[in-house]
Amino acid sequence: MRSHSVCGVAAVLLGGLLTTGCGGTGDGNGDGSRTGGAGRSASGGHPVTVTDCDGAETTVSGVPDAIVTSNASGLELLLRLGVGDKVIGTGFPPGRGTLPAGLDGRARKVKVLSETVIPKEKLLGSGADLYVDAFGAVRSGGGMGDVPSEEEFRAAGIAHVRLKSTACAATREEPVTDLSAVEADITALGAVTGARARAQRLVAGMRQKVDAVREAVGEVPEAERPTYFFFDFDAGTGQPVAVCNRQVAHAVITLAGARNVFADCDADFRPVGWEDVIAKNPDWIQLGVRDRGSEEANDKAFDEARTWLETHPATQGLKAVRNGRFLRIGSERTTIAGVRNADTVRDIAAALYPGKVG
C-alpha cells in the first residue's frame, strides 16, 4: 500500500523522470539530483535513480502501488512488465483489438479516466502514487492539456515519470537511428515498478530481432537501400504529415534497411506538401493506418489508403504506387515507442529484402 503520511512527490516539469521529497521541499540537494519515494518501502531493488530529458538524476525510494498512465503506449508497457494489476487508470485508452490478443483483455479491465488527456483534477484525485506520462514537456510547446504543477503532484503524492523516447522526441538534438531510447524507457520503468527481470527479457527480445535484421542487411550500401515514405493516412490526405528524424519511426525505418525520404527533417512530425513527396518519389510506401479493432476493419482501411494513392492525381505516378510497393503495417507499432517497434523493423525488412530476411 502507498504511504500518505511521510513522503511527498513532485514531477520534473522539464520532461523528466522522477523527483520526490521526503520530509523536505523536494527541490533536490543542490547537485542536480533529487530524492523521492513511491510506495511503502524500499523494495524490489529500490531506491532507483533515473534521469530526465536533460540528464538530471532522480532517486525513487519505493515500489509504486497504484499507477495511472497517460495513454495506450504506457499502458502496454506496464502490461508487458507484468504490473497491470497495479494500474488503476489510463487516458487515451487503446481501441478494442489494438493491442496483441494476450494484452487486449487485460487492457479492457483498466479504468478509463479519460478518452483523451486526463483532466488535472481527476488525475490528482485518482489515488495514484505513480503517473507514467508519454507526452512532451510544457516547455517544448507540445505539452498536453492542463498539466499539474510540481507542487500539485507533490501534494497529491504522485510520482511523475516520463517515457523519454516519446515525450522528449520533439526536443531531441540528434536524429534517432536506433531503439536505445525505447530500451532505456523499458529498463527504467521496469526498475521503478519493481519489474527489472521482465524488462531485461523484453529488451533482450527486441535486440535479438533487430540484430538479426542488421546482420542480414548490414552489407547493403546506403546508396542502394530503398527509399521509404510513411503515409499517415489517418492524419489526413489534404496535407501529408512527414515522419521526421526525431521520431521513433525514423529509427524503425533505418534499422530495417530503408532510407526515410524525410530524414532531413529535424523534428518528430511535420506537415509537408504532396509536391515534396513527389520530389522524393519513394520506392516503398507504408500505409500507416491506425488500428480499427478488427482484422476486417483494418483491411478495409488499408485498402482505402492504397486506393487513395492510386487514384489521386498527385500520387498515382509515384514509383512506389506504379510498382504496387505498399506495406500494410499499422501506425501504432511504428510511431509509438514500445516493444513492437522491433517487430516492425523485422516486418519492413522482410518486405524490402525477401531474400535476406525471412
In contact, 309 and 221? CB cutoff 8 Å: no
In three-state form (DSSP H/G/I as H, E/B as E, the rest C), the secondary structure along 100-141 is: CHHHHHHHHCCCECCCCCCCHHHHHCCCCCEEEECCCCHHHC
Q: What is the pLDDT of residue 141?
A: 38
3-class DSSP state for residue 271? strand
- Architecture of the CATH domain 202-352: 3-Layer(aba) Sandwich (3.40)
Does the domain at 7-172 match CATH 3.40.50.620? Answer given as: no
| b/e sequence 81-120, b meaning 16+ C-beta within 10 Å | bebbebbbbbbbbbbeebbeeebbeebeebeebbeebbee
Per the structure block, which three cell numbers stand in for 21? 521529497
pLDDT for residue 44: 62
How far apart are alpha carbons 12 and 29 in whole angstroms?
A: 15
Helices (H), 118-244: 120-124, 150-156, 164-167, 180-193, 196-217
Set of cell numbers at residue 315: 500520387
CA quadruple 73, 161, 8, 196: dihedral positive or negative?
Answer: positive
pLDDT reported for residue 309:
98
* Beta-bridge partner residues of 260: 228
- Residue 137's pLDDT is 58
CB 168 within 8 A of CB 142: no
Q: Which of 245, 188, 200 is nearest to 52 (CA)?
A: 188
How far is it, in rounded angstroms, from Cα 39 to Cα 221?
A: 51
- The pLDDT of residue 43 is 54
Q: Based on C-alpha coordinates, what's the Rg of the chain? A: 21
Q: pLDDT value at position 200? A: 97
Residues paired with 87 in a beta bridge: 67
What is each CA distance from 218 to 176, 210, 227, 255, 315, in whole angstroms? Answer: 18, 11, 16, 9, 31
Q: Return averaged pLDDT per consecutive 10 residues of the chain, 358 residues in all.
A: 32 32 33 43 68 67 91 95 97 85 91 95 95 69 63 85 84 91 95 95 98 95 97 94 96 98 95 97 96 89 98 96 97 93 98 90
Cβ 246 vs Cβ 167: under 8 Å: no
Whole-angstrom distance, CA of residue 235 vs CA of residue 18: 32
- What would the DSSP string read from start to end of 13-48? TTT-S-EEEESS-SS--SSS-EEE--SSSS-TT-SE
CA-CA distances (angstroms) from residue 134 to 68, 73, 117, 226, 301? Answer: 12, 7, 11, 31, 27
What is the location of CATH 3.40.50.1980 in the chain? 7-172, 202-352
pLDDT of residue 38: 56
Buried b (16+ CB within 10 A) or exposed e, 49-61: bbbbbeebbbbbb
